[in-house]
Amino acid sequence: MLRKGLQHLQHALLLVHLQQHPSLHMLWPRLSDLKIHTGDIIWGISSPSYGKKFPVFNPATEEKICEVEEGDKEDIDKAVKAARQAFQIGSPWRTMNASERGRLIYKLADLIERDRLLLATMESINGGKLFSNSYTLDLGGCVATLRYCAGGLTRYMAAQYPLVNGNFFGYTRHEPIGVCGQIIPWNFPLFMFIWKIGPALCCGNTVVVKPAEQTPLTALHVASLIQEAGFPPGVVNIVPGYGPTAGAAISSHMDIDKVAFTGSTEVGKMIKEAAGKSNLKRVTLELGGKSPFIVFADSDLDSAVEVAHQALFYHQGQCCIAASRLFVEESIYDEFVRRSVERAKKYVLGNPLTPGVSQGPQIDKKQYEKILDLIESGKKEGAKLECGGGPWGNKGFFIQPTVFSNVTDEMRIAKEEIFGPVQQIMKFKSLDDVIKRANNTHYGLAAGIFTKDIDKAITVSSALQAGTVWVNCYSVVSPQCPFGGFKMSGNGRELGEYGLQEYTEVKMVTMKISQKNS
């Protein structure tokens, strides 16, 4: 089903942007005629869910954008059936040359780049993300990821030839797993959608995707681009819906061969349990984090303050890798806090489509209230509130940029994933002390280190229990680099060749021959 659901917001949200960004005039005619895809995409066609719908909101204004068809277990069953048929031996998808698969993925990247302005605008309206970040980082990352997957396809999928003892000849095949269920988060709805489908399609799988109920719109638009690119029907199926219904149906489905999920640790545990109780489907999980960021006294202080700030406040703190435990060496602690507060106070809050705005809203009321509750816990437990600490404005889910000092390890704000614009700065005295404290968490997704001492950098990066460690930088993610967590931050990897491995089965084929010669 197609609806014109953005027109009531366009003039209010885009006119100011058009005045200061002339290139967006090219987008205006397309937005004026924009049709939002609001139904399941199964067999490559829109498939209504028997009249059930759910609302999609703009978190900056709290206004309803449109209603989207709500998929449930029956819709997931239909999508899995379509994906399974597309994966059958002899199907157009299974018989397609790897180079042709790569061409389709390249074509999809080109179409996303063509619609980049439109998609970035939809991300901002639906998800509260700053337009500049959506356009530059998210959409740029989507295109780069698809092109990496298309380019590395033939190299990774090539057969290998181990030497088998005796008169035998052997080779290994990297074969697609089959039907992959993919559950997408709301904080990076399009970026994570591409992170999931890119490697899966590269390796020849078919997919059933459930976008987050808060942010389904860009995934549904890209579904139309997948059709335009020429992918066979049933290869990509998209079912919007809620976690307890559509998401649970994916996790427990007996005919889904793998599930990939990005989201909370709590839900990740439920998915893994459901996978084990059903058909032991393979599972990759990218879950929560409470990432340490360690600043030593020998650091370039200006750079460390800015990188630590961006590492926490980017996208209103709604990042799984957010550097939400900031450890600063004792001798520079007070100055670091002063500069961090000064930096946070420069933020301009407002509609993410408005030029000059540097912080948008939280995604919804539930997250908004959770963050405010954790801020109150910090005040009550004795942390010093340096700035912020409350809501902002009279409309939308905005929270002031908040900085706490004198934070101790046992406080809730130092232990729980806040997922909001709340920076907590802690003091440390020694290298051994900070390593122990940094690792004292159930999470292990990412970590940051700032120092000019290469020995410290190597020692600490080796000791930290995290899937990614950044030294004198943060949030540097590339399609060719694996990404994933230790401990309760998940298992498996996304991106790079390690990420491709998650979407293949390795088969060893051994043949008897009459005589083997060197």
Taking only the tens place, the pLDDT of each residue in 362-420 is: 999 999 999 999 999 999 999 999 999 999 999 999 999 999 999 999 999 999 999 99
pLDDT at res. 243:
97
Percent of the chain with pLDDT over 90: 86
Cβ of 29: how many Cβ atoms within 10 Å? 9
Catalytic residue among 70, 213, 286, 494: 286
Of 371, 293, 287, nearest in space to 329 by CA:
293
What pTM value is reported for the model? 0.92
pLDDT at 160: 74
The 8 Å CB, 24+ separation contacts for 512-517 are 512/167, 512/168, 513/167, 513/168, 513/169, 514/167, 515/167, 516/166, 516/167, 516/168, 516/169
* Local structure of 98: helix, strand or coil: helix
CA gap 229, 240 in Å, rounded: 22
Return the minimum-mean-pLDDT range out of 18-27, 254-263, 465-474: 18-27
Each residue's pLDDT tens digit, 415-463: 999 999 999 999 999 999 999 999 999 999 999 999 999 999 999 999 9
pLDDT digits (tens, 9 = 90+) for 465-502: 999 999 999 999 999 999 999 999 999 999 999 999 99
Superfamily for domain range 292-471? Aldehyde Dehydrogenase; Chain A, domain 2 (3.40.309.10)
Sign of CA dihedral 304, 479, 174, 41: positive
Listed by start position, the domains of the chain span 2-287+494-501, 292-471
Question: Any catalytic annotation for residue 410?
Answer: no
Predicted confidence (pLDDT) per residue in 1-12, tens digit: 333 444 444 443
Nearest to 418 by CA among 466, 370, 460: 370
Distance from C-alpha of 304 to C-alpha of 291, rounded to nearest angstrom: 16
What is the spatial distance between Cα 324 and Cα 333, in angstroms, rounded to a whole number? 16
State the pLDDT confidence band at 145, using cuts at 50, 70 and 90. very high
Per-residue pLDDT band for 183 (boundaries 50, 70, 90) equals very high
Classified by CATH at the fold level, domain 2-287+494-501 comes out as: Aldehyde Dehydrogenase; Chain A, domain 1 (3.40.605)
Closest CA to 246 of 114, 23, 75, 43: 75
Is the fold of 2-287+494-501 the same as that of 292-471?
Answer: no
Residue 69 has pLDDT above 70, yes or no: yes
